[in-house]
Amino acid sequence: MKKILLACSSGMSTSLLVTKMEEEAAKRGEEVKIWAVAQDKAEHDMEEADVLLIGPQMRFMKKKFAVTAEKVGIPLDVIDPVAYGRVDGAAVLNKAFDLIEQG
């Protein structure tokens, strides 16, 4: 099972993405756990995740999150703004899987 953590300012707009990504994963028959949190909870939840994706509006948090991510040993990146705006579950899911594979 792949565990994908999304973080934005309050976990609201990323939670829109969660639904779309879950739909896409179900379509592909992939087993996933996807959840969205507010930025102050992200570091705590990273321990349970395989990858962290950050909402583009919070991209200035990447540097800070990278420290914890390295400690926990998971990859992280900022979600592409276009995919974010379209709430494109497939594109973001692909990105998450790529990151997990690359480690």
Partner 1 sequence: MNKFMSVLEDILLPIADKLNNNRYLTALRNGFMVALPLIIFGSIFVVIANLPFLDRLIGEEAYATYQNALGPASAATLSIMGLFVIIGIGFKMVEQRGGEAIYGGVVALASFLVLTPQILEETAGVIPTSALGAEGMFLGIFTAFISAELYQLFVRKNLTIKMPAGVPDAVSRSFSALIPITLTLSIFLLIRIAFSFTAFETVQNFIYTLIQQPLTALGSGLPATIIAVLLIQVFWFFGLHGQIIINSVFDPIWYSLNEQNLSAFQAGEPLPNIVTKQFMDTFIVGIGGSGMTLAVIAAIFVVTKSRQLRELGKLGGPAGIFNVNEPVIFGLPIIMNPLVIIPWLLAPVIVAIVTYFAMDLGFAPKPAGLIVPWTTPALLSGYLATGNNIMGAVMQLINMAIVFVIWLPFLKVLDNQYYREEQSVQATA
Positions touching partner 1 (CB under 8 A) are 8-9, 12-13, 16, 39-40, 55-61, 63-64, 81-82, 84-87
* Nearest-angstrom CA–CA distance, 73 and 26: 27
> Which of 74, 76, 81 is closest to 6 using CA atoms?
76
**Minimum distance, C-beta of residue 61 to partner 1, in the bound complex (Å):** 7
Phi-psi region of 87 (alpha: psi -120 to 50; beta: other; left: phi over 0): left
Contact present, 53 and 5 (Cβ < 8 Å): yes
Q: Considering the complex, state which of residue 84 and residue 97 has its C-beta at the smaller distance from partner 1.
A: 84
Among 4, 6, 7, 8, the one annotated catalytic = 8
8 is catalytic: yes
Task: Kindly tell me which of 7 and 50 has the beta carbon lying closer to partner 1.
Answer: 7
What positions carry a catalytic annotation?
A: 8
